[in-house]
């Protein structure tokens, strides 16, 4: 526990560290004391990131999820309070009746605990009251890396469900054995009961078969539940991990891909989840038991077993021929559908521009062309799928006729009874049924295999955020150095920066100027760690930015991009995105720096006004830009990166921005990419870029007139 100057425990509550999260349950109260008891070395920011975003209350499941997000495994078991093992402390104990406790240690017949109900550290006697104990263990770095960086991530994930898989396999085995009851019942009816006219025996057989049918129904219900439950869990894990990985990939991996393409990729991974709960997956469980059924057919019908063997071979050979054709057709159909989806997303995103440019008909024609291609490719894929389905039906009918013909010959030769023939027919359908389903599902198997391969490749990529909780970046003073930095976005493009070298002292204001395409925005993005230079290095306070965690680096810098992106939520939530631990006072201070407070308070709900939905375009440009600036100010960073901060600001608001920059002189390093002479005059130095190279770098007073003449 943390003690104050007088030696009394300090209890931190979640609302004190979390901007907008109002979790005040006993589980929420226990979260921070539990982390402190476990000697967790992270920051409040990491707790906020691990918390649920849309919940005002934490329960046990929510708390375990938070701890899992902080890389703790949990083990839960029923226990009495006095039976807790002191060697396994600290732990969380949830009494059957009462608030949860963080059990710290046991001494002298008492337990020192944190009581989530009263938010106090107390000593309790070791009573016999029952409850649930949850023990947490922090994952080691190597375990985390092995869990993520593997060439078979899906295999590692599914191995966690081995127990459930064994249960499902055992149920499938039992169901297949019970499935022999119906064929043998029919055989006995024909050969024994009908021949002896024994109704009493019939009643016994009917009763036994009925029991078997009820047992089979119960087993099927259990199997369906297990498959549905575990496939949902796997799908949830895959969906969350895919989205998390895409979010934390370096921008160079994601910015070049169209939004529609990335949406399609996420939807493709959902195919894996849907497959696990489908009949196609259940068919795979049935295939191993074909050997058992074929053995029964061989001992029962002898030569009749040749028919299903031939059909199995036909299914296999036909699958080898037709499956590549179907897979190729489905791939082309998927590509065409993806292109159409990308076009639709682009059109909806720029609907206003499409209308005021009068190009609605042009876009309609383009959509018709893309739709035609998608329909044609879909038609080809459907034809091949229909062909494979037709062939499987032909094989099934042919196997029925052939089995009947061979069986009748065996009956006439008295090598097989009539009841045996009926049983063989039923067993042949039992063999060929899963084969037919598997044959019809070949395109789906190929799609799942392709998606699994893509998912494994995605999980092999190195993201920007290791699962290890990163320690706080040391305090940044604001010194910036570019040492022969060169950068190009693609191998085919010209360098955006070439051989850039400069030194910026803490507290200086630097105006980065030049024509469009000179590399001004690229310089700021490199400093933010959004891209990595192909040559040279960038230092902040003498430390290479490549040695810093990119997420921690960006949290330490105040960045104002050219375009302000708003998210659905309140104004306070949009500002707090840049600094999740910001208090209400921090937010008020930030908006005051850009003269934004009066405008916000004039709204009906003030800081709680919701923005970011379809009405965002109706907000004034200056409103959005000042919100953009407030996000940077709320961090109170040592380095500000402003990319065209005057865009959308009127004269009055621009003067407010300039006054804020004047106040920051000497206190924070400010790098402004700008075209405005008024902003250039604020600068201590001018960095003049031309075609990615430094043309001039020096005092603003000496270079401003020269630049203005050249730019005019």
**pLDDT tens per residue across span 348-388:** 777 877 788 777 888 888 888 888 888 888 888 888 888 88
Place of tokens 């074909």: 290
What letter does residue 204 receive in the DSSP assignment? H
Is the predicted pLDDT of residue 471 greater than 50, yes or no? no
Is the predicted pLDDT of residue 614 greater than 80, yes or no? no
Structure-model confidence comparison of residues 90 and 9, the more confident one: 90
Strand order in the sheet with 543-544: 497-504, 480-487, 535-540, 543-544
User: Percent of the chain beyond pLDDT 90?
Assistant: 5
* pLDDT given at position 218: 92
Q: Which of 77-81, 142-146, 199-203 has the lowest mean pLDDT?
A: 142-146
**The two structure tokens encoding residue 645:** 């901060």
Confidence of residue 176 (pLDDT cuts 50, 70, 90): confident
Is the predicted pLDDT of residue 409 greater than 50, yes or no? yes
Going along the chain from its start, the domains and CATH numbers come out as 2-140 (3.90.70.10), 150-460 (1.20.1560.10), 480-711 (3.40.50.300)
* pLDDT given at position 617: 66
Q: What is the pTM of this model?
A: 0.74
Residue in 45, 117, 87, 75 with CA at minimum distance from that of residue 102 = 117
* pLDDT given at position 482: 92
Question: What is the number of other CB atoms lying within 10 angstroms of the CB of residue 401?
Answer: 10
Confidence of residue 143 (pLDDT cuts 50, 70, 90): very low
For the CA atoms of 238, 239, 244, 245, the dihedral, rounded to the nearest 10 degrees, stands at: 50
Note the pLDDT tens digit of each residue in 419-466.
Answer: 888 888 888 888 888 888 888 887 788 778 888 888 888 888 777 765
Across the range 28-40, mean pLDDT stands at 87
Structure-model confidence comparison of residues 56 and 693, the more confident one: 693
**149 Cβ partners below 8 Å, 6+ apart?**
459, 460, 462
Is the predicted pLDDT of residue 578 greater than 50, yes or no? yes
Across the range 47-65, mean pLDDT stands at 75
Residues in the chain: 712
CA geometry: angle at 172 spanning 170 and 176, to 5°?
120
For the CA atoms of the chain, what is the radius of gyration? 35
The DSSP secondary structure of 314-327, one letter per residue, reads HHHHHHHHHHHHHH
Structure-model confidence comparison of residues 486 and 128, the more confident one: 486
CB of 66 within 8 A of CB of 49? no
> What is the separation, in whole angstroms, between the first and last Cα of the chain?
66
* pLDDT given at position 671: 92
Most confident of 356-370, 423-437, 500-514, 544-558: 500-514
Is the predicted pLDDT of residue 652 greater than 70, yes or no? yes
Note the pLDDT tens digit of each residue in 232-285.
Answer: 888 888 888 888 888 777 777 766 666 666 666 677 777 787 787 777 788 888
Q: Which of 365-379, 604-618, 628-642 has the lowest mean pLDDT?
A: 604-618
Note the pLDDT tens digit of each residue in 329-351.
Answer: 877 887 888 788 778 877 877 78
Note the pLDDT tens digit of each residue in 305-334.
Answer: 888 888 888 888 888 888 788 878 877 887
Backbone angles phi, psi at 662, to 5 degrees: -60, -40
SS3 137: strand
Across the range 47-59, mean pLDDT stands at 70
The DSSP secondary structure of 554-610, one letter per residue, reads HHHEEEE-SS----SEEHHHHHHTT-TT--HHHHHHHHHHTT-HHHHHTSTTGGG-E
* pLDDT given at position 474: 62
**The two structure tokens encoding residue 559:** 């960045």
**Mean of the per-residue pLDDT values of the chain:** 81
How large is the angle between the packed helices 162-178 and 279-286, nearest 10 degrees?
70
User: Percent of the chain beyond pLDDT 70?
Assistant: 89
What letter does residue 649 receive in the DSSP assignment? -
Is the predicted pLDDT of residue 472 greater than 60, yes or no? no
């Amino acid at each position: 526990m943390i003690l104050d100057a007088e030696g009394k425990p300090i209890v931190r509550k979640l609302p004190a560290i979390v901007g907008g999260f109002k979790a005040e349950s006993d589980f929420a109260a226990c979260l921070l004391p539990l982390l402190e008891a476990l000697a967790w070395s992270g920051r409040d920011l990491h707790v906020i990131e691990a918390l649920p975003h849309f919940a005002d209350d934490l329960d046990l499941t929510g708390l375990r999820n938070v701890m899992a997000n902080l890389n703790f495994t949990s083990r839960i078991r029923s226990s009495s309070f006095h039976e807790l093992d002191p060697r396994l402390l600290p732990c969380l104990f949830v009494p059957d009746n009462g608030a949860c406790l963080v059990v710290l240690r046991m001494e002298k017949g008492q337990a020192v605990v944190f009581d989530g109900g009263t938010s106090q550290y107390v000593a309790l006697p070791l009573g016999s009251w029952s409850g649930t104990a949850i023990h947490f263990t922090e994952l080691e770095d190597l375990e985390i890396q092995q869990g993520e960086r593997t060439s078979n991530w899906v295999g590692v994930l599914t191995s966690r469900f081995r127990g459930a898989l064994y249960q499902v396999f055992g149920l499938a085995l039992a169901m297949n054995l019970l499935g022999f009851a119906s064929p043998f019942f029919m055989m006995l009816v024909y050969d024994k009961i009908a021949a002896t006219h024994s109704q009493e025996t019939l009643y016994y057989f009917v009763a036994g078969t009925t029991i078997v049918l009820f047992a089979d129904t119960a087993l099927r219900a259990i199997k369906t539940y297990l498959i549905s439950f575990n496939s949902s869990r796997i799908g949830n894990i895959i969906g969350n991990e895919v989205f998390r990985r895409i979010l934390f990939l370096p921008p160079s991996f994601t910015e070049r891909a169209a939004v529609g393409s990335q949406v399609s990729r996420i939807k493709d991974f959902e195919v894996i989840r849907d497959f696990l709960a489908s009949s196609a997956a259940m068919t795979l469980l049935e295939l191993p038991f074909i050997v058992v059924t074929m053995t029964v057919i061989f001992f029962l019908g002898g030569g009749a077993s040749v028919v299903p063997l031939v059909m199995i071979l036909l299914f296999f050979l036909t699958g080898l021929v037709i499956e590549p054709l179907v897979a190729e057709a489905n791939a082309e159909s998927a590509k065409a559908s993806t292109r159409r989806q990308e076009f639709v997303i682009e059109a909806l995103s720029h609907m206003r521009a499409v209308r005021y440019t009068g190009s609605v008909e042009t876009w309609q024609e383009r959509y018709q062309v893309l739709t035609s291609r998608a329909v044609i490719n879909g038609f080809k894929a459907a034809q091949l799928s229909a062909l494979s389905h037709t062939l499987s039906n032909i094989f099934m009918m042919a196997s029925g006729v052939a089995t009947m013909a061979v069986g009748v010959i065996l009956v006439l030769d008295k090598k097989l009874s009539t009841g045996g023939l009926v049983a063989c027919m039923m067993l042949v359908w039992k063999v060929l049924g899963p084969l037919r389903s598997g044959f019809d599902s070949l395109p789906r198997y190929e799609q799942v295999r392709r998606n699994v391969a893509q998912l494994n490749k995605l999980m092999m990529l190195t993201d920007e955020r290791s699962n290890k909780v990163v320690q706080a970046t040391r305090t940044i003073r604001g010194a910036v150095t570019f040492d022969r930095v060169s950068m190009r976005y693609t191998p085919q493009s010209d360098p955006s920066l070439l051989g850039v070298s400069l030194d910026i002292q803490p507290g200086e204001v630097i105006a980065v100027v030049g024509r469009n395409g000179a590399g001004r925005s690229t310089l700021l993005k490199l400093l933010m760690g959004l891209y990595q230079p192909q040559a040279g290095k960038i230092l902040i306070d003498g430390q290479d930015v490549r040695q810093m965690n990119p997420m921690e680096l960006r949290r330490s810098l105040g960045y104002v991009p050219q375009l302000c992106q708003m998210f659905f939520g309140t104004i306070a939530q949009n500002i707090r995105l840049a600094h999740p631990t910001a208090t209400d006072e921090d937010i008020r201070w930030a908006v005051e720096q850009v003269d934004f407070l009066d405008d916000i308070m004039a709204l009906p709900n003030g800081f709680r006004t919701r923005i970011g939905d379809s009405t965002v375009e109706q907000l004034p440009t200056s409103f959005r830009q000042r919100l953009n600036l407030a996000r940077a100010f709320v961090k109170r960073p040592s380095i500000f990166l402003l990319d065209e901060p005057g865009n959308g600001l009127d004269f009055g608001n621009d003067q407010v921005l300039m006054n804020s920059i004047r106040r920051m002189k000497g206190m924070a390093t400010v790098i402004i990419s700008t075209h405005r002479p008024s902003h250039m005059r604020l600068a201590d130095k001018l960095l003049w870029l031309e075609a990615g190279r430094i043309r001039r770098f020096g005092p603003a007073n000496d270079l401003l007139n020269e630049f203005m003449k050249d730019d005019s």
